[in-house]
Amino acid sequence: MKHNEKRKQILMTAMKLFSVKSYHQTSMKEIADTCEMSKGSLYIYFKSKEELLLQIFKYYFQLVDEQMIFIDQDDHLSLKEKLTKTVEVQLKLAIEYHEFYRMQMQEIIGLKSDVIKEYIRTKNVEQTEWLKNYFIGIYGSEIEPYALDCLLLLTGMISAFINLITIEKLSVDLAYLPRFLIKKFDFLVEGILKEKGKPIINDLWPIHNKELFEEKQHPLVIIKEIKESIKKISLDKNKLKEALQSLEILEHELMEMEPRPAMIKGMLRNLAEVNELEAAREKLSQALNIDSSY
CATH, domain 1-47, list 1.10.10.60, 3.40.50.1110, 1.10.287.890, 3.40.50.880: 1.10.10.60
Those residues whose C-beta lies under 8 Å from the C-beta of residue 39, and which sit 6 or more positions away, are 28, 29, 32
H/E segment holding residue 87: helix 79-96
User: Are 100 and 19 spatial neighbours (Cβ–Cβ below 8 Å)?
Assistant: yes
> What pTM did the predictor assign?
0.71
pLDDT in tens, the chain (294 residues): 677 888 989 999 998 888 888 888 899 999 999 999 999 999 999 999 999 999 998 888 888 888 988 898 888 999 999 999 999 999 999 888 888 877 776 666 667 778 888 888 888 888 888 888 999 999 999 999 999 899 999 999 999 999 899 888 888 899 999 999 999 999 999 999 999 898 988 654 544 444 444 445 678 778 878 887 777 777 777 878 888 888 888 887 777 766 788 888 888 888 887 777 788 888 888 777 776 554
- The alpha carbon of 287 is separated from its chain's Cα centroid by a whole number of angstroms, namely 14
For the chain, domain boundaries: 1-47, 57-213, 219-287
Contact 226, 284 (CB under 8 A): yes
